[in-house]
Amino acid sequence: MKQLILAEKPSVARDLARVLGCKQQNKSYIEGPKHIVTWALGHLVELKMPEDYDKQYKQWRLEDLPIIPKHMGLKVIRQVSPQFRAIEQLAKRKDISELVIATDAGREGELVARWIMEKVRWQKPVKRLWISSQTDKAIRDGFNQLKPAKQYDNLYQSAVCRSEADWLIGLNVTRALTTKYNDPLSAGRVQTPTLAMILEREQEINAFQPKDFWTIDATIGMLKATWEHNGEKRLFEEKKATEIVSKVKGQQATVSSLQKKEKTEAHPMPYDLTELQRDANRRFGFSAKKTSSVLQKLYEQYKLVTYPRTDSRYLTKDMENTMFDRLQGMSSGYREEVQPLLKQKGNVVAKKVFNDSKVTDHHAIIPTDEPLHLGDLDNDERKLYDLIARRFLALFYPAYRLETLTATLNVAGETFMARETLVLDPGFKVLSGKEEESPRALANLKEGQSLSVKEVNTEKKLTEPPSRFTEADLLSRMEKYSLGTPATRADIIERLLGSEVLDRKNNKLHPTPKGKQLIELVNDELKSPELTAKWEQDLEAIARGKGNPKEFLENIRKQTKQLVMEIKSSSQEYRAHNLTGSKCPECGKLLKEVKGRDGKVLVCSDRECSYRRRKDPKLSNRRCPQCHKKMELHNGKAGTYFQCKPCNVVEKADDKKKKVTKREERQLLKKYSANNKEDEGFGNSLADALKAAMKDKK
- Catalytic residue ranges: 307
Q: Residue 104 is which amino acid? A: D
**Do 193 and 481 touch, CB atoms closer than 8 A?**
yes
Instruction: Report d(CA 180, CA 188) in Å as an integer.
Output: 17
Instruction: Report d(CA 614, CA 619) in Å as an integer.
Output: 11
Instruction: Determine the straight-line distance between the first and last CA of the chain, rounded to whole angstroms.
Output: 55
What are the residues facing 354 on neighbouring strands?
Answer: 315
Parallel, antiparallel or unpaired: strands 35-39 and 2-7: parallel
Looking from the CA of 592 toward its CB, the CA atoms found within 13 Å total 19
Instruction: Report d(CA 292, CA 488) in Å as an integer.
Output: 10
Query: Which residues touch 232 (CB under 8 Å, ≥6 apart)?
Result: none
Instruction: Report d(CA 86, CA 129) in Å as an integer.
Output: 22
Instruction: Report d(CA 495, CA 189) in Å as an integer.
Output: 13
**Number of Cβ atoms within 10 Å of the Cβ of 299:** 21
Query: Which residues touch 304 (CB under 8 Å, ≥6 apart)?
Result: 298, 367, 368, 370, 372, 385
- Exposed/middle/buried for 280, CB within 10 Å: 0-12, 13-18, 19+? buried
530 sits in which H/E element: helix 529-543
State how far the alpha carbon of 280 is from the alpha carbons of 150, 271, 314, 383, 470, in Å.
Answer: 38, 11, 20, 8, 12
DSSP, residue by residue, 651-680 = EEPP-TTPPPPHHHHHHHHHHT-TT---ST
Please report the sign of the dihedral spanned by the C-alpha atoms of residue 341, residue 400, residue 362, residue 493. Answer: negative
Name the nearest CA neighbour of 452 among 215, 216, 222, 217.
Answer: 222
Q: Residue 490 is which amino acid? A: A
138 three-class SS? helix
**Do 211 and 236 touch, CB atoms closer than 8 A?**
yes
R_g (Cα) of the chain, nearest Å? 33
Instruction: Report d(CA 219, CA 202) in Å as an integer.
Output: 40
391 sits in which H/E element: helix 379-393
Peptide bond into 66 cis (omega under 30): yes
Instruction: Report d(CA 50, CA 67) in Å as an integer.
Output: 7
